[in-house]
Amino acid sequence: MEVAGTMSTIIDVENFGKRYRRLDVISNVSVTVQRGEIHGLIGPDGSGKSSLLKAIAGVLDFEHGIIRVFGQRVNSEEEAERIKGRIGFMPQGLGQNLYAELSVEENIDFFARLRMVAPADLEPRKTRLLEMTHLERFRERPMKHLSGGMKQKLGLVCSLIHQPELIILDEPTTGVDPVSRRDFWVILSQLLEEYGTTAIVSTAYMDEASRFHRVSLMYKGEMLAQGKPEEIRALVSGTVVVVKASSQIEAFAILKSQYPQVQPIGHHLRVFVGKQNSEQAESAVKDSLSHLEIAECYSMRPELEDVLVTMLIDRNEHKNVGSGPVFKTMGRKNGKRNGPAIVARDLVQNFGAFRAVDHLSFEVSQGEIFGLLGANGAGKTTAIKMLTGILPSSSGNGQVAGVDMQKAAQTIKSRVGYMSQAFSLYEDLSAHENLKLYGGIYGLSGTGLKERIRQTLALTGLQGYESEMTQGLPMGVRQRLALSCALLHRPSILFLDEPTSGVDPLGRRRFWEILFQLSREEGVTILVTTHYMNEAEHCDHLVLMYAGRSVADETPAGMKLALRKEAGELLELTVDRPVRVLEVLEENGLSDAAIFGNCIHLLTKNIGDTVLKIRFLLESNNLSLHKVDEIPISMEDVFVHRVMALEKHASQRQQA
């Protein structure tokens, strides 16, 4: 992402403060955004990102501080009106600024009239933006029938149709699959290149920080840190050690007692060792596990999420999730069963002429953490609803917890716990009242229910929250409460549909620590869907879905290995003008490339020849290449490569 034009301050926020009723939600926040940059506001729900962006856009009043946009104060509605024509604002939520009954083109035309775009300017702008967002062939489709990623791209087009100098985007990629997220960032980069647009973007995804020129980390209404991504990463010293020991449960308990950041990642453990280099950190971890057999041990540099979590720990925001008493599962109660916990065989689900699930087959072993991955609309949620007996299948069969899903739906419901994608708690009830309500639904009462609630609260680390109203709980705590409700009847299988969407990194780590305990210590089988590709690493096994079908069925390590064999190693190119560099690479046959901030990621089977070719191409086009690094392949790389290849194949078949 190159910064176009002369640098000057577009947004200047001084000592901003916002109060809701008597509660100060933001205090003394200051931030500047320079012309032509993409500035990131990163933080969990409740950190104040949306309030700050609304105030900058002139749609929210505030109590303290000064906000200047284009040098103009926007401390009143009258002042804000003077600069609104130069701003594009996209609020939080999929398609929140769109009209469901209007088509793609009708939405664009409506916003163009609203912004008084001249008819002569509208058509070329609309054609260019539809081309950039790959929405050209969906002009006539109603907005309500678009996928989540397509809604966000249409929302962006409508916010840009009047060619604003500043665009304000509030969590534009939340709930959007990795392919659509990557498309979104390419579009922003192109806008910066072509029009010199300035953008301020909020996100809860820490892995998106590398895509910004500068970043502001927010938490609970305060600014934790600001600067370039590499500057923020340098604020905390230390090393990440990844280790695989003979007893994962024992190794986890030992390391957790010594280090505040320990994550189970599949059959490995990921440990952040502060203030030590790689050699010292690896040695320290091995010494701690000296009585166990070490199968693997290697180190890597910390990620920005490690930095944020370390800052929160230093602020005493970190509380370990209590292990609680032994939690007897339904499976233990009935004795250990032979065979898989979940079996899906040729599952099909038709909604009229649309096939949402297309002959889907897979198996989930007892006590396994199993992940269903796929883009928006791939059929993941529909598959879960069929397996849990909520939705009858059009054809196919399966078994869940030892019973036929077609013939014993009620039995299945008594043996599984289900957290739906739509939030399932009653916000006007307290945490304890929600638990009592769900206990009654599961047929629990009296002292038995009280004991189950006590055990579940201990397991999920929610002691002390019992009397608090659900609507006032942080997102991560609410998700643990929803999990507690799903666990009350001691299920042997858990179905979790996007359980950590919108939850901050610390909350997600706590949540996955509970899932690890349930799987490894209690033998609960867990099937989970997620859009966080780093969470896919937590799973023992994965199925990647595309258009309702299974297109990959492997462990995370197996999927990475398969991609490496097929497409080669992953290179990171540090450049000055990534948009132009990407164009040059694609024009010369290097199409498997993507923009990451000021870098380009590229898969290649022949590193030496590819680097020589890239250097020649960039020198021929007067472009700079500062550095080339070989970096590990991530699950996001696997996901994007697979889905993009399938989309390309589907497009070629349609054109044939």
Q: What is the pLDDT of residues 611-644, one digit of tens each?
A: 999 999 999 999 999 999 999 898 988 988 888 8
Give the integer Cα–Cα distance in Å for 598 and 197: 16
d(CA 513, CA 174): 23
DSSP for 126-150, please give it: HHHHHHHTT-GGGTTSBGGGS-HHH
Q: Are 420 and 497 contacting, i.e. CB atoms less than 8 angstroms apart? A: yes
SS3 call for 625? strand
Q: What is the pLDDT of residues 7-27, one digit of tens each?
A: 589 999 999 999 987 788 899
Q: Which of 205, 148, 241 is nearest to 533 (CA)?
A: 205
Alpha carbon distance 378, 337 (integer Å): 31
Model pLDDT, residue 66: 95
- Give the H or E element holding residue 578: helix 578-587
User: CA 368, CA 350: separation in Å to the nearest integer?
Assistant: 29
Mark out the alpha helices in 398-543 (DSSP H runs): 409-415, 431-441, 446-460, 475-487, 505-520, 533-536
Contact (Cβ atoms closer than 8 angstroms) between residue 575 and residue 625: yes
Q: What pLDDT is stored for residue 382 in this prediction?
A: 93
Supply the DSSP symbol for 117: -
- From CA 358, how far away is CA 485, in angstroms rounded? 32
- pLDDT bucket at 649, cuts 50 / 70 / 90: confident
DSSP 249-300: HHHHHHHHHH-S-EEEETTEEEEEEET--HHHHHHHHHHHTTTS-EEEEEEE
Which H helix or E strand runs over 563? helix 556-567
SS3 content of the chain, % helix, strand, coil (to 5): 40, 25, 35
pTM of the model: 0.84
The partner residues of 268 in beta bridges, in order of sequence, read 265
Q: pLDDT per residue over 139-165, tens digit each?
A: 999 998 887 778 888 998 999 899 999
Q: Residue 365: its pLDDT value, please?
A: 96
Which residue carries 């090393």 as its tokens? Answer: 239
Which residues are paired to 33 by β-bridges? 11
Once rounded to an integer, what is the mean pLDDT over residues 86-99?
84
What pLDDT score was predicted for residue 317? 58
Q: For position 309, what pLDDT does the model report?
A: 86
Given a contact cutoff of 8 angstroms between Cβ atoms, the answer to whether 617 and 602 are in contact is no
pLDDT band at 333 (very low <50, low <70, confident <90, very high): very low
Stronger pLDDT, 506 or 71, i.e. the higher one: 71
- d(C-alpha 397, C-alpha 348), whole Å: 9
Instruction: List the one residue out of 350, 443, 442 whose CA is nearest residue 391.
Output: 350
Question: 11, 586 in Cβ contact below 8 A?
Answer: no
Give the pLDDT confidence score for residue 642 in this predicted structure.
Answer: 87
Q: Ranked by mean pLDDT, which of 72-86, 293-307, 326-340 comes out on top?
A: 293-307
Using CA atoms, how far residue 312 sits from 188, 319, 321, 504, in Å, is: 31, 10, 15, 11
210: left (phi over 0), alpha (psi -120 to 50) or beta: alpha
The pLDDT assigned to 30 comes to: 96
In whole angstroms, what is the distance from residue 505 CA to residue 514 CA? 14
> Which parts of 289-430 fold into alpha helices (H)?
304-314, 330-333, 380-387, 409-415
pLDDT score of 653 more than 80 = no
**Comparing 94 with 38, which gets the higher pLDDT?**
38
User: What pLDDT, on a 0 to 100 scale, did the predictor assign at position 502?
Assistant: 67
Q: Which of residues 598 and 327 earns the better pLDDT score?
A: 598
In angstroms, the Cα distances linking 16 to 30, 166, 347, 440, 552 are 6, 20, 54, 47, 49
Residue 625: both structure tokens together: 């290449």
Q: Domains in the chain, start-ordered, CATH in brackets?
A: 9-232 (3.40.50.300), 237-301 (3.30.70), 330-551 (3.40.50.300), 558-655 (3.30.70.980)
Q: Is the pLDDT of residue 318 over 70?
A: no
Instruction: State how beta strands 541-546 and 369-374 pair.
Output: parallel
Comparison of pLDDT for 407 and 518, the residue scoring more: 518
How does strand 214-219 pair with strand 222-227?
Answer: antiparallel
- pLDDT average, residue stretch 503-524: 87
Nearest-angstrom CA–CA distance, 331 and 526: 13
Judged against a pLDDT cut of 70, whether residue 321 lies above it is answered with: no
168 is written with which tokens? 């304000």
Q: Each residue of 420-436: pLDDT tens digit?
A: 876 678 999 999 999 99
No. of helices (H) and no. of strands (E), the chain: 22, 28
569: β partners:
604
User: What CA–CA distances, in Å, run from 288 to 153, 255, 257, 520?
Assistant: 49, 7, 10, 21
**Residue 331 binned pLDDT confidence (cut-offs 50, 70, 90):** very low
Cα 372 to Cα 79, 378, 535: the distances in Å are 49, 10, 11
Radius of gyration of the chain, Cα coordinates, nearest whole angstrom: 25
Average pLDDT, the chain: 88
Amino acid, single-letter form, for residue 194: E
Rounded to 5°, angle at Cα 35 from 30 and 36: 120
Res. 5 pLDDT band, cuts 50 70 90:
very low
Rounded Cα distance, 73 and 263, in Å: 46
Average pLDDT over residues 397-406: 89
pLDDT in tens, 173-211: 876 777 777 778 888 888 777 878 899 999 877 778 878
Mean pLDDT is lowest, of 322-336, 544-558, 571-585, for 322-336
Mean pLDDT calculated for residue range 255-281: 94
Rounded to the nearest 10 degrees, the angle between the axes of helix 148-160 and helix 104-114 is: 30
